[in-house]
């Protein structure tokens, strides 16, 4: 069979992207819509959902928004039932919603550690568990977990986040192992350092107008010598959401400009 370029399209597919009012989630949802998908997203507040609906409309996308905290198992199960009734069974799930707390481990409370694990690891489990039965019924599906450089590397102050994202890499591999037989592919995307609200504190200009030391550090650690943008993640996400990747399963695709391959520029 000759290669079909339409294998990269998502026509007729329903995609749920969690926490997709802005940032990486919004960019991924926007790219899915551009190749034919129907977009479903959630936020913790009605205000967030309203903001999201407006942002999608401004991008020419008629999205379906739901108020739900991804850590609320009953709420997620209810939301998925509502989506299936109102929009249809979900074909593509992107576990994007996430938080980070940058605190030295010895100063981090167990409660703060637990909160990061809850959002960044427990919630992807909860949402995938709610969505997979519909995918099985429908004959298959795609799950994309948004991992991180911290799925592979540690650094000061991000112990909870690294533990969560490392666990998310293994949850990705386990879902791939357990549900591949139902034509469900579960993969991860590991973004490098991306310019979004989540990393804004790491890029703040200093009082003297110079770049933030961490900003300079990332530039030196990235062969591409730049921060990534959410748009850099769109093509890889469309690939993993499409039938073009039907034999890719349990893989984490790092979209990092080469950080993981590079020792870093000599000072």
155 binds, among ligand GCO, ligand NAP, none (CB under 5 to 8 A by kind): ligand GCO
69 binds, among ligand GCO, ligand NAP, none (CB under 5 to 8 A by kind): ligand NAP
Residue 4 or 47 with smaller CB distance to ligand NAP: 47
Q: Retrieve residue 253's tokens.
A: 């695709």
**179: partner contacted, choices ligand NAP, ligand GCO, none (Cβ within 5-8 A by kind):** none
Question: Looking at the annotation, which residues are catalytic?
Answer: 161
Q: How far is the CB of 219 from ligand GCO (least distance, A)?
A: 14
Q: How far apart are CA 97 and CA 80, in angstroms?
A: 16
Residue 158, binding choice from ligand NAP, ligand GCO, none, Cβ under 5 to 8 Å by partner class: ligand GCO
Place of tokens 């890889």: 236
Binding partner at 119 among ligand GCO, ligand NAP, none, C-beta below 5 to 8 Å by kind: ligand NAP
Q: Which is nearer to ligand GCO, 34 or 212 (CB)?
A: 212
* Contact map string, positions 149 to 178, toward ligand GCO, x by CB under 6 A: xx----x--x--x-----------------
- The least distance separating ligand NAP from the CB of residue 23, rounded to whole angstroms, comes to 2
Nearer to ligand NAP, 10 or 94 (CB): 94
Look at the alpha carbons of 19, 21, 25, 31 in this order and tell me if their dihedral is positive or negative: positive
Identified binder of ligand GCO from the candidate list 6, 109, 198, 216, rule CB under 6 A: 198
Q: How many C-alpha atoms does 260 have within 13 Å on its Cβ side?
A: 15
Residues in contact with ligand NAP by the rule CB under 6 A = 19, 21-25, 42-44, 48, 69-71, 96-99, 119, 146, 148, 191, 193-194, 196-199
- Compute the half-sphere exposure of residue 265: CA atoms within 13 Å on the CB side of its CA: 12
Q: Which residues contact 155 (CB under 8 A, 6 or more apart)?
A: 162
Q: Which residues ranging from 80 to 139 are in contact with ligand GCO (CB under 6 A)?
A: 100, 102
Interface with ligand GCO includes 9 (CB under 6 A)? no
Question: Phi, psi (5° rounding) for residue 206?
Answer: -80, 165
- Comparing CB distances to ligand NAP, the nearer of 184 and 252 is 252
Site size toward ligand GCO, by CB under 6 A: 14
Locus of tokens 């950080």: 259
Establish if 192 lies at the interface with ligand GCO (CB under 6 A). yes
Binding region for ligand GCO (CB under 6 A) = 100, 102, 148-150, 155, 158, 161, 191-193, 198-199, 202
């Amino acid at each position: 069979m000759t290669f079909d370029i339409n294998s990269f399209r998502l026509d007729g597919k329903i995609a749920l992207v969690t926490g997709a009012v802005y940032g990486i989630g919004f960019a991924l949802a926007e790219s899915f819509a551009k190749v034919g998908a129907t977009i479903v997203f959630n936020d913790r507040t009605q205000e967030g959902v309203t903001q999201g609906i407006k942002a999608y409309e401004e991008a020419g996308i008629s999205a379906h928004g739901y108020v739900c905290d991804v850590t609320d198992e009953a709420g997620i199960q209810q939301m998925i039932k509502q989506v299936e009734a109102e929009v249809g069974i979900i074909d593509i799930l992107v576990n994007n919603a996430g938080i980070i707390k940058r605190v030295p481990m010895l100063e981090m409370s167990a409660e703060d550690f637990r909160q990061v694990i809850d959002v960044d690891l427990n919630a992807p489990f909860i949402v995938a568990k709610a969505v997979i039965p519909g995918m099985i019924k429908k004959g298959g599906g795609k799950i994309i977990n948004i991992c991180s450089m911290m799925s592979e590397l540690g650094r000061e102050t991000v112990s909870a986040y690294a533990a969560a994202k490392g666990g998310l890499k293994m949850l990705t591999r386990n879902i791939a192992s357990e549900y591949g037989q139902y034509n469900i592919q579960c993969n991860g995307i590991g973004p490098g350092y991306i310019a979004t609200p989540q990393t804004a504190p790491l890029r703040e200009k200093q009082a003297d107008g110079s770049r933030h030391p961490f900003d300079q550090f990332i530039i030196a650690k990235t062969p591409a010598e730049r921060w990534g943008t959410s748009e850099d993640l769109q093509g890889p996400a469309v690939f993993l959401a499409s039938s073009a990747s039907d034999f890719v399963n349990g893989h984490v695709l790092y979209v990092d400009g080469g950080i993981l391959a590079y020792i870093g520029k000599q000072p």
